[in-house]
Structure 1
Amino acid sequence: MALIFVTRRIPEIGLRYMREGRHEVVVSEKDGVLTEAELKKALAARPYDGVVSLLTDTITMDVLKGAPTVKVVANYAVGFNNIDVKGLQEAGIVVTNTPGVLTDTVAEFTAAFIMAVTKRIPEGDRFTRAGKYKGWAPELLLGSDLAGKTLGIVGAGRIGSGVARRMAAGFGMQVKYYDIARSEALEAEVACEYYESLEELLKVSDIVSIHVPLLPKTEHLINAERLALMKPTAYLVNTPR
């Protein structure tokens, strides 16, 4: 049996799963993100074997200094930029995440965001709720079609490929993508074009959808210079962070 600390309440099914494994599970009583001081205090309170952290928790060796018995940090997220993975691994602490569980969800959200901005749905909702709608007019809140438009995918991993499939098959978009390596898997599923240059992809895309992990080399990937390369009518959709 292991003693596990969960930094914030997660869905009951997850807690039940751990308890059915005969583990003792302690959930933070705070309804919100623990501060660094609160997290340190909570972890030092008992000899925990494992920690279930959320993306909003910063987990470093300094945070775990008062919890020498911790052997595993399981991040309740696909991303793990909130954890000093290298430091924990060097200390012999196993770090895990949950890759793949949100692939379809995020791809669907991305499709929804693309529809929202091109069809001006949030704008129309605000307009109507404000009592400004007085009747139909030919150019009132006129959006743009997706069929035949160019979708530029930045990062052709699980989610980026999922977006490409949906937008090509569902809306007839022309897919072009940029990644550090060509994706034969994506090209086998979707009629698409690979770009070795991000700058060139930005120039031709009507919608740019970003799907890269947050790493030092991807931070500020889209800066002022690259924004200036985009069409003045283009949309930028950023779902990773």
Structure 2
Amino acid sequence: MKDFLFTDGKYIYINAPYAEAYVPEDIIENPNGAPKDSWIAYEYGDGFIIFGICYMRFFENESQARDSVPVHTLMYPNLIETHPTESTKAKLEINGLMDNWRVLKFYHGDILMEANSRKSATNCEAFMKLLTSGKLPRSLSYDEVFTAWMDNYEINGMTPEVPYVVHQAIIAEMYRNPADPSQQFAKVIAANPKIDPRSYIAMNMNAVSAYSSVMSALSFERMSEKLTSSINMTKSGVEQKKSPIEAVITM
């Protein structure tokens, strides 16, 4: 993707006639000033603050059909300030994922980001939000998710105060088998190393709780929704994890 960018040492610019970046609409701050719990990006003035992991396309001209242009992934796991010429909203399928996107439109010479990142613990918090919202781009392979997380710490000069295995356990819970969401993708790829490492589904914490067990579902939120998933789980005979708390309660 570096062929489509250039820098003067202060900023990184678009080096293509036209480009688009795609940010999931539901992680952008509510325009009415009431941000969602999971907001990560926001618009201000003529710029956006977004996370530097997003899908992008680089076009020969603005009239070129989107489907004819390959999808690239901007892989800079940190918050960035970007300055598109304009933005629109669209429902698009990108790499097999249908979602509502904020489409950031750039032209040659537009600023994509600063060349030197600003270090902050807030950026590490933002990465955690992006991961647990299930909104990291699916073009990242399963193992690249952990690498991106560690890179985020390094960029911001932070050292996690918990063992790396804790981060790996969180990723294992968030990434699931699309054929059976109750199963961790880690188990699928461990059993078949030749499987496409991008053939997972990334879930948010709410969805993970619904597929883990009746206990975790009913102790989370959205009670009516979780009652339905719990009944279906029980009727289907899905194997469930039992926490020590559940063992104590049912003694």
Do both proteins adopt the same fold according to a TM-score greater than 0.5, normalized to the shorter chain?
Answer: no
Greater strand share, structure number: 2
Instruction: Tell me the TM-score normalized by structure 1.
Output: 0.26
Rg larger in 1 or in 2? Answer: 1
Instruction: Tell me the TM-score normalized by structure 2.
Output: 0.25
Greater RCO (CA < 8 Å, at least 6 residues apart): 2
